[in-house]
Structure 1
Amino acid sequence: HAAVVSDGSDCLCLSPECSLPDTLNSWFLIAQLHVWMCLVRMRQEGREGKFMCHYIVHSMWEDVDQRSKIMGIDAVQRKEAMKAMTETFYGAIFGYDEGILSDDCVLAAALWRNLFSRQCEDPRQLELMVEYVRKQMQFIDALDGEDLLLTGEVKWRPLLEENAQSILKVVSPTYNDTGL
C-alpha cells in the first residue's frame, strides 16, 4: 500500500546513511524502491496480487501528484516531472528485477543507477542499501500472502538494526474489518 510505503521511505530519505537530499525526487526514488519490493511480493499472489500491484502503482502516482501540489509545483512542471518519473520508474523496475535475481554486485549497480542517480561516492552506502533490500525482501517473502492482500500493510524493517535476525519474527497483522 502506497501510504505504508511512504511511511517507511520518509525516514529512510532523511537518514544520513543514505546521503540523499530531502527533495520530492529523493522521496520518489525511495518510494519506487519500496513499491518495487511490494510488487515483487504481490506477483506471487496470483490474480489478487496482480490487482494489488496495479493499486500500489496507482497509489504511488497519486501520492507523487499530491506531494508535488503541496510543494507548489505548477501544473506544467508537474506534468513534465511525472513524465520523467514514469520513465525512471519503469527503468528502475527492470534494473531492480535483474538485481534481485542476480548477485549483490548487480543489485548494487541497480541501486547506484536508480536510487543514488549515479552519485554515490561511498561504497558503504551502497553496501548498506544492498543489505537493506535483501533483508526487506526476506522479511516480506515470509509474510502471509492473504494477510498482505487483506491489510495492504508492510511494516518495513529499519535501515539499521542491531539484531538482524529479528527480521525472521513476523508481526501478526491487524485487520480493518470487524470479524476478520
Structure 2
Amino acid sequence: MACRSCKRQLLLLARQANAPVAAELYSAALGQQRLHRVATTPVTHQLRRGFRSTPAQSGFMDSIRSTIQRSSEPYRVMAATKEIYDACSKAAPYKIDPIAIKLGTVPKTPEGEDIGEGNGMWHDGHISTNGDLSTEFKLLPTFSTWSQVTMLHLYLVFARLRNLDRYAARAWQAQLVDHFFFDAEERMDLSHGISSRALRGRYLKDLFVQWRGVVAAYDEGVAKGDAVLASAIWRNVFKAREDVNVRDLAATVSWMRLSLKMLDQMPDEALFTRAGTALRWPAKNEFAVVDQPTRQLADQLAPNTEPAGRASSAA
C-alpha cells in the first residue's frame, strides 16, 4: 500500500527495475553488430537479404523477442489492472456537492459519514412493476459503501489471479491494490475535503485492515458455503444491519458464485483484455434467480386456493 504522493517514486522505481533489461538489449545489439562486421562473404550477403538465417542470427532474434516481452510485461499488467479496477470502482458511484463540503452542510449518517448522491443499483430502491419486490439494494451513497462494494469486486478478481504463476499473481494483485488506495486517497481529498495527509494516512491504514479482513472473510465463505458467505457480506457490505433483507444477501451470494465461475472459465491471456467483462453482469439480475423458488411455490398453490365468495356460496 502506498500513498498518492509516492506514485511518482513508484514509477521511477519501475523504470530502474527495467534498467537491466535495457542493458541486456544493448549487449545483444553489440553482439549482432560484431556478427555483421565479420560476415563479409557473398554467401553471408545472401543470408542477410533474407534467403536464410544462421543459427546465431536466429538465436539473437529469439533473445530480442523474449527480452522485449519481459520488458513490456509490467506495462501490460499495469494497463490491464487499471481497466479491471475501473470496472470495479464504477459499481457503486456517488458524488458529493463541493459547495456543500465548503459550507459544511453535507448530510451525515449517525456514524458521521458524508452522504452523497448515488444512482447505481447498489444505492437506489424502487418498486418493481411485477409486484412489491425491490430490485435494488438500497445502500447509502457513502465512501464506506463505495469502498466495500469495490473491495467485493476486487476480491473476485483476486480469487481468479491465484490460478496464475506465483510471481505473476503477486504482480497483478499489487497493481490492483495500488489502484484502489490511490483512488481512495484521492476521493478523501477531493470529494470529502480531507486535506491533512496524516489524517488520510490514518484512514488508509484502517481501510487496509478492512481489506485484509474482507479477503479472509470471503475466502472462508467461498470454502464453507453460502450461509457463511452471506454472513460475511452482511457484516461488510450491509454493515451488520438488523433490518437487512435476506433476499439482498441471497442475490449477492448468487452473483458472487456466478462471477467466480465466469472468471474461472476465462483463459489466462484473456485477463489482459476481457477480465472486466466478467464483472459487468449486474448483481440485481440475480433477484430473478432468488425469487424463482417462491414463484414456483406460488404457482403450485394458486389452483388449490378458491376465492372467499365462491366458498361462501357453496356453503
Identify the TM-score tier after normalising by the shorter chain.
Answer: 0.7 to 0.9
TM-score, length basis structure 1: 0.81
Report how far residue 32 of structure 1 moved.
0.6
> Would you say 1:106 and 2:106 are equivalent positions?
no
Report how far residue 28 of structure 1 moved.
0.2
- Partners of 1:19 and 1:120 lie apart in 2 by 14
Which residue matches 1:7?
90
> Would you say 1:73 and 2:189 are equivalent positions?
no
Which residue matches 2:140?
21
- Partners of 1:160 and 1:127 lie apart in 2 by 11
> Would you say 1:62 and 2:176 are equivalent positions?
no
> Would you say 1:158 and 2:267 are equivalent positions?
no
Q: Are 1:13 and 1:27, in contact at CA under 8 Å, matched by a contact in 2?
A: no
Secondary structure of 1:37's match? helix
Match for 2:239 among 80, 101, 117?
117
Match for 2:156 among 37, 59, 84?
37
Residues 37-70 of structure 1, C-alpha deviations (whole Å, 9 max, x = no match): 1100011111322210111111111111112122
Residues 109-164 of structure 1, C-alpha deviations (whole Å, 9 max, x = no match): 1111111111152111111111111111111111121110x237412111133887
Report how far residue 89 of structure 1 moved.
0.9
- Partners of 2:85 and 2:171 lie apart in 1 by 14
Q: Pairwise CA RMSD of aligned residues?
A: 2.0
Q: Are 2:91 and 2:149, in contact at CA under 8 Å, matched by a contact in 1?
A: no
Residues 61-83 of structure 1, C-alpha deviations (whole Å, 9 max, x = no match): 11111121221223244223212
User: Structure 2, unaligned stretches of length 5 or more?
Assistant: 1-83, 94-119, 126-135, 290-315
Which residue matches 1:139?
262
- Partners of 1:133 and 1:9 lie apart in 2 by 16
Identity %: 25
Look up the equivalent residue of 1:13 and give its one-letter code: W
Q: Specify whether residues 144 and 43 from structure 1 end up closer, same or farther in structure 2 by C-alpha distance, changes over 3 A only.
A: same
Q: Specify whether residues 152 and 50 from structure 1 end up closer, same or farther in structure 2 by C-alpha distance, changes over 3 A only.
A: farther
Return the structure number with greater relative CO, CA threshold 8 A, min gap 6: 1
Which residue matches 1:167?
none
Report how far residue 9 of structure 1 moved.
4.1
Q: Specify whether residues 15 and 100 from structure 1 end up closer, same or farther in structure 2 by C-alpha distance, changes over 3 A only.
A: farther
Q: Are 2:92 and 2:145, in contact at CA under 8 Å, matched by a contact in 1?
A: no
